[in-house]
Structure 1
Amino acid sequence: MRHYVVCDLDDCLIKTDLLYEQWLVLLKSKPLVFLQSPFWLVKGRSYFKFKLSQHAPISPNLLPYREEVVQFLKTSKTDKNNQLVLASASPETWVKDISLHTGLFESALGSSQESNLKGAAKYKAIRSSIGENTFTYIGDHTADLEIWKHSSKVVAVNPSVSLRSKIALLAKPTDIITDKKRSTWNLTVKQIRPHQWIKNVLVFLPAFAGHKLVSADNIQNGLLAFAGFSFAASFVYVLNDLLDLKADRNHHTKKRRPFASGDLPIKWGLLLLPSLLAGCGTMAALLPTDFAIWISVYLILNLAYSLYLKQSVVVDIIILSMMYTLRIFAGSAATSVPISEWLLSFSTLFFFSLACVKRYTEIIRSKNKITLDGRGYRQVDYSMVQSLGVGSGLISILIILLYLQSNDVRALYNNPQNLWFATPVLLFWISRVWILTNRDEIHDDPVVFAVKDKISWICLGLLGLIFGIAT
């Protein structure tokens, strides 16, 4: 007698939930249709899924498969009496696409426009497909208990303590499949990227450059601005990673990010977003209104970048460099210290150079691809991006040299001539960064590289010493 091994899909065979994932794909690819999508629910969940599948096709080759379940299925397939079936509440077209891609299953069952295959409805569809034959069911959710009641064997994937106890009451042969899940807390910390908060030190730059950082009020407001931008930056990282799952999974390093790898549930990310935004709003409420305006501009610009602008050649680099400069504007608003035109000119060109480092690195590390995933660049663009980055970096040093000849420098420094020694240090650092970038020996993010690089810290110490002597 033939035996069937029936496997669930979402959070079981794959380490993600396709409904949430493809809904986010819809937001990025067809925002106007996305706005219509809540109204699909009026006609029921099955209709919602059907419409979503029409507008958001999946890429089965890029999904994060659970290796432990795949291995179990491969072992089951070696028994010629076993027939493998993929059964899911996801839309039928998605389920069939994944079944075809894996090559493991003889048949696939999914939700249609009229029916949502979950719980009892899924069992009915399974029984209709396999007849009176016995079956093993691989699932992960309490909704699967209705199916396990009728199965000859239970296979539970990462069951909770509560689900384990309910499975035990069924008194059936049971296998438990667990993967090496990392702590949700550790994954959340990794996702919000606190190491990137070092960029927010830029909010102190207007007060530091204007020699007004000694004020207690400026320090307090600077710290609040730092916290506000830390919440905002983490919000942006979470949002960007949720919207960029496909491109990240096709990237040599980004595929290991918590959402892309499937280690952190997408639903958790959707809960993180309002929490981080609330933290950002709280900090902004404690500071002058102008700060709230600048941080709002930062968030809106990042949303536009995530949805559209990152695919535009050079525009994306300009936007990335602006993210740094916006922190300086926000710091000025928080501390009420005006920004020097010299500082603004230098930062615009300097951070444009660093943004070019980031993009150049991504291009040269995609050597086997004609175009860069999720970007508008081609392999042939690497030399032009390099030229733009090196040129803007060197011109930013020229701004420093011109500043040394201005009247502004004499008003702030007792020994302004000593500031000249800062230029060879900056020339060394920016030149070294680009040489290492050309050798492909630098981190994707130049700021992360600088934080971990001992020579960069030595350069920073020298600059601090030079500015101290000049003062």
Structure 2
Amino acid sequence: MAEKPDDLLPLFSGGTFFLSVACPAALLPFASFCLASSATYILNDLLDREHDRNHPEKRLRPLPSGLISPRSARALALALALAAMVLAWQVSGAFLLLVLLYGGVSSAYSIRLKEYALVDIFCIAAGFLLRLEAGGAAFGVTISEWLFLSVFLLAVFLGTGKRLSEKNRLGRSAASHRKALVAYPEGFLDGTMYMTGAAVLVTYTLYVISRHSSLLLYTVPLCCFGLLRYILRVQSGKGGDPTESLTKDLPLFIVGLAWAVMVGWGIYAP
């Protein structure tokens, strides 16, 4: 399950980001989720190490390649999970509960749920939403209904794009890497990606309108370009990993940076 800084998104969109980050205690929620997500990453790699040896890129990871032993990986995952819970407890009981739920969903995904079509994508989306809600609980920010829907639909969109990219790239060997890939009929992932991409644009537009900011309204075309650029990358066989797409695709990176600057200016400018 991909890690994204969604736990800081409510703080940023709520207009209190710079006030809160000045306090060292504000870094605890972020650190806690980084540790928790790292622990679940290791668990997923432990369980997937045999399948990852059949993947053209994942076979080079430390566990599939044999660089790190499973015993060392298990010890590190346990240490990270315990550290995450200790930090979460110092934030609040509600935040600890959300971290535990995130860990539970991520672990269930790694152990079994990733093998079921659609369930795997919705588990990824649940991780995004739990991080979003945890950020709101940690910093006392109310999550907008439109922001909640935008994040959920964006997570489904990105998860679908990643699955489609994997299925197209692996071809006949897809079943040996991930069982859920062969359960998706031809054209299903394409249609789902288009549908959720359109829904993201609509919900994000309504979120922007609800903020009553004329500058934020101009970020909608950037959002539209970003969604279409990601679809173009996936359909062109250039990969569907969201992080890789943002950092290695120059147009997408420039648009993402412009979007962040405009949103920040629209929220924090006097």
- TM-score between the two structures when normalised by the length of structure 1: 0.53
Partner of 1:353: 157
Q: 1:262 to 1:426 in 2, by over 3 A?
A: same
**Structure 1 residue 249 corresponds to structure 2 residue 62:** no
Tell whether 2:256 aligns with 1:445.
Answer: no
> Which one of 113, 120, 129 corresponds to residue 325 of structure 1?
129
Name the CA distance, whole Å, in 2 between partners of 1:404 and 1:257: 40
Aligned residue for 1:262?
Answer: 66
- Note the C-alpha offset of 1:446: 1.2
Aligned-pair CA distance for 1:339: 0.9
Q: Give runs of aligned pairs for residues 283-302 of structure 1, distance below 5 A.
A: 283-302=87-106
What RMSD in Å do the two structures reach over aligned CA positions?
2.1
Identity fraction in percent = 27
Q: Deviations over 1:132-187 (max 9, x none)?
A: xxxxxxxxxxxxxxxxxxxxxxxxxxxxxxxxxxxxxxxxxxxxxxxxxxxxxxxx
Aligned mates of 1:285, 1:380 — CA distance in 2: 40
Distance 1:379 1:352 in 2: 17
Correspondence for 2:232? 435
Call closer, same or farther: CA 1:364–1:382 in 2, change over 3 Å: farther
Q: Which string of whole-angstrom CA distances, capped at 9 and with x for unpartnered residues, describes residues 50-75 of structure 1?
A: xxxxxxxxxxxxxxxxxxxxxxxxxx
Contact conserved, 1:204 with 1:222, CA < 8 A, in 2?
A: no
Aligned residue among 336, 339, 359 for 2:140: 336
Question: Secondary structure of the equivalent of 2:244?
Answer: helix
Residue 254 of structure 2 is aligned to residue 458 of structure 1: yes
SS of the residue corresponding to residue 180 of structure 2 reads: coil
Give the C-alpha shift of residue 247 in structure 1.
Answer: 1.4
Q: Which residues of structure 1 form unaligned runs of 5+?
A: 1-195, 411-415
Is 1:365 the counterpart of 2:162? The answer is: no
Considering Cα pairs closer than 8 Å and 6+ residues apart, tell me whether 1 or 2 has the greater RCO.
2
Cα distance, 1:383 vs structure 2: 2.1
* Greater helix content: 2
Which of 193, 200, 214 matches 1:417? 214
Deviation of 1:248 (Å): 1.1
Q: Give distance in 1, aligned partners of 2:24 and 2:136.
A: 13
CA distance in 1, matches of 2:86, 2:181: 39
The answer to whether the 8 A contact 1:207-1:218 is kept is no
User: How many angstroms apart in 1 are the aligned matches of 2:27 and 2:227?
Assistant: 28
Q: Deviations over 1:85-125 (max 9, x none)?
A: xxxxxxxxxxxxxxxxxxxxxxxxxxxxxxxxxxxxxxxxx
Tell which structure's C-alpha radius of gyration is larger. 1
Name the SS for the 1:338 alignment partner. Answer: coil
Residue 230 of structure 2 contacts residue 245 of structure 2 at CA under 8 Å; is this kept in 1?
no
Specify the alignment match of 1:156 in structure 2: none
The amino acid that maps onto 1:397 is: L
Aligned residue identity for 1:341: E
1:214 aligns with 2:18: yes
Question: Unaligned 5+ residue runs, structure 2?
Answer: none
Q: 2:189 aligns with which of 385, 397, 405?
A: 385
Q: Is the contact made by 1:203 and 1:222 (CA closer than 8 Å) also made in structure 2?
A: no
Q: How many aligned residue pairs are there?
A: 266
Query: Is contact 1:363–1:379 with CA below 8 Å preserved after alignment?
Result: no
Instruction: Describe the superposition over 1:429-464 as per-residue Cα deviations: whole angstroms up to 9, x where unpaired.
Output: 11011111111112x521232133333332133223
Of 190, 198, 202, which aligns to 2:6? 202
Give the CA deviation at 1:240.
0.8
* CA offsets 1:318-338 (integer angstroms, 9 cap, x no match): 111221221111111111111
